[in-house]
Amino acid sequence: MPYRSPLTEYQFLFDHVVGFGQVAKSQVFSEATPDTVDAILTEAAKLSETVLAPLQRPGDLHPARLENGVVRCSPGFAEGYRAIVEGGWVAIAANPEFGGLGLPMALTTAVNEMMGSACLSLQLNPLMTQGQIEALEHHASDEIKALYIPKLISGEWCGTMNLTEAQAGSDVGALRSKAEPNGDGSYAVSGQKIYISWGDNDFTENVCHLVLARLPDAPAGVKGISLFMVPKVIPNADGTLGARNTLQVVSLEHKMGLHGSPTAVMQYDGAQGWLIGEPHIGLAAMFTMMNNARLGVGVQGISVAEAAYQHALAYAMGRKQGKTPNGKGVIADHADVRRMLATMKAEVFSARAIALSCAVAIDMAKATGSAEWAARAALLTPINKAFGTDTGIAVADMGIQVHGGMGFIEETGAAQFLRDVRVTAIYEGTNGIQAMDLVSRKMMDNGEAAFRLIEEIEQNAHGVRAQYPNMATAVWNAAESLREATEGLVAQDMNDRFAGAVPYLRAFARVLGSHYHLCAAMAEGVDGPRTALARVAIKRLLPEHVALLAQVREGAAGLYALSDEDLVA
């Protein structure tokens, strides 16, 4: 079925739920007027629906391939990419000094979601470039910025990030790639990197790789890692292209999904590179790109969830089978199918609201310099990444179930959503790592940022108890349970925290999602569809938090009571 961009949802969330108005009122983002926002969303919707969505199936059926060292991309991807860059969509949030639009991350997030719903394999390319632009803006020298950022913004060049090695997955500190000084300010970078999304293509002039490697005097572990810009083609000082660098795509991974996105094994053999940031602290610079990508990857999960929901809904509305309460005979009217559709819709709303709230916090931190807004953004980033991608997987899986046997047949397209989205819970830090980050680094303030957010949820629920007694009371009680669990969590030792990290993050997301649904019902002001959907989220999905928080309180001891031999037996 054709993809339809949910423009009214974005506008409603901006206006009534996530506080976008305060971003638009700030001096930094004063150009994000209602007319500008509407125009950008409308044009991005047209691009997504008419240009990118038709590439979804061809990208799956005709994967990117490696021929004689050259990556050949899926049919139509070159034209789709040109449409993206000609519309300026790569550079919505980039610094105007280098040709970007300087608009809010919240707006970029909505645009990226539409593009990802239309064709996730292709959208991965500009997402990586957006993250690289931000990393260079924050950490590169003025010379590197002036040379690379305008080309990345224009889309003439695109960007990647190279972290993972065969022996160093999540443990980045175990990487072995090295960088030797050339004596002219550049470095010779050698090593092999795996799982490099869009490691090469046949439609941009250059591919710019940010590569983690060790200098000769580097200490062991993560404190000895430096970051280097290693381009496919070495640029001259004026931005024209010079010699081909000594790097290559060794192979492309054979993947479960995202077939249109070439995931490369990259080999660097003394490739010329330039240091980004200070020596030995490259991981901090790379984390700028990774945090940008973590927001983006959470949104990718939502992208697929939206597309899978639309696909399943269309099928359920048209498939006739059996007797139904209203006599229409379509499966959407069967109670269990209606349950699945309502759950899918409610989950997409929750995840989207969390993602946009995270983006708003990023924007407000930039606009105000406020440490509290920065802490809010940091707190929401792992929640968005994990819950957004978990939602994408769950909704895509439910979409197959709605289709019944036809969902297991590739021609319907239902299975592709699940195959494509599954990796999002793994890359940019697995969702378990996101949860561990939430309960460790994000709780280094003893939970202060978390408690501030919980307090806001409780105050909001308390204020509308008269209008929505059942829903408001349920949200307040859940938030109070989350507060108590957080107090207990910060008193635990770290391994106990880690044992309950995933259920804690999911419980937090459950409470947040229900809070945003309650805000939507409040804005509606009548007992309409948003209130009905809020009841689904609050009365049917929110109760899960009780079981999740029970797991958090258990700590790690019970897990280790099972010996290695017990696990094998």
pLDDT in tens, 95-139: 999 999 999 999 999 999 999 999 999 999 999 999 999 999 999
pLDDT of residue 169: 66
pLDDT band at 320 (very low <50, low <70, confident <90, very high): confident
Task: Give the pair of three-digit tokens for residue 36.
Answer: 């500008």
Distances (CA, A) of 519 to 410, 457, 538, 545: 39, 10, 12, 19
**The one-letter amino acid at 176:** R
pLDDT in tens, 503-518: 999 999 999 999 999 9
* Strand 187-197 versus strand 241-244 pairing type: unpaired
pLDDT band at 458 (very low <50, low <70, confident <90, very high): very high
pLDDT of residue 1: 63
Structural domains in the chain (count): 1
313 burial via Cβ count (<10 Å: 0-12, 13-18, 19+): middle
pLDDT of residue 521: 97
pLDDT of residue 172: 72
Residue 228 lies in a domain: no
pLDDT in tens, 229-276: 999 999 999 999 999 999 999 999 999 999 999 999 999 999 999 999
Distance CA 270, CA 197 (A): 22
Task: Return all residues near 25 (Cβ < 8 A) that are at least 6 apart.
Answer: none
332-350 mean pLDDT = 97
pLDDT of residue 166: 87
Phi and psi at 78, nearest 5°, equal -60, -45
Residue 425 has pLDDT above 70, yes or no: yes
Phi and psi at 271, nearest 5°, equal -65, 140
Residue 475 lies in a domain: yes
pLDDT band at 2 (very low <50, low <70, confident <90, very high): confident
Residue 532 lies in a domain: yes
| pTM of this structure | 0.96
Catalytic residue among 428, 448, 487, 544: 428
Task: Give the pair of three-digit tokens for residue 145.
Answer: 């910025």
Percent of the chain residues topping a pLDDT of 90: 89
Residue 289 lies in a domain: no
pLDDT band at 286 (very low <50, low <70, confident <90, very high): confident
63-85 mean pLDDT = 96
Q: Which domain holds residue 534?
A: 430-559
Distance CA 113, CA 5 (A): 9
314-326 mean pLDDT = 87
Residue 463 lies in a domain: yes
Residue 465 lies in a domain: yes
| Positive or negative torsion for Cα 271, 274, 275, 276 | negative
Distance CA 449, CA 372 (A): 7
Q: Where are the beta strands (DSSP E) in 260-412?
A: 263-276
Residue 308 has pLDDT above 90, yes or no: yes
Residue 406 lies in a domain: no
Top pLDDT among 142 and 223 is at 142
Mark whether 428 is an active-site residue. yes
pLDDT in tens, 524-549: 988 899 999 999 999 999 999 999 99
Neighbours of 543 (CB within 10 A): 13
Contacts by 139-145, CB closer than 8 A, 24 or more apart: 139/227, 139/276, 139/277, 139/285, 139/288, 140/229, 140/276, 140/277, 144/229, 144/274, 144/276, 145/98
pLDDT of residue 103: 95
pLDDT of residue 322: 80
| Positive or negative torsion for Cα 512, 537, 363, 303 | positive
Phi and psi at 446, nearest 5°, equal 60, 30
pLDDT of residue 321: 85
**Placement of tokens 């970007």 in the chain:** 100
pLDDT in tens, 189-221: 999 999 999 999 999 999 999 999 999 999 888
Nearest to 89 by CA among 119, 104, 111, 105: 111
Residue 526 lies in a domain: yes
pLDDT of residue 48: 98
pLDDT of residue 327: 75
pLDDT of residue 285: 78
pLDDT in tens, 162-189: 989 988 767 776 789 999 999 999 999 9
pLDDT of residue 548: 98
pLDDT of residue 418: 98
- Say what the alpha-carbon torsion angle 336, 341, 342, 346 is, to the nearest 10 degrees: 140
372-397 mean pLDDT = 97
Phi and psi at 235, nearest 5°, equal -80, 150
Three-class DSSP category at 542: coil
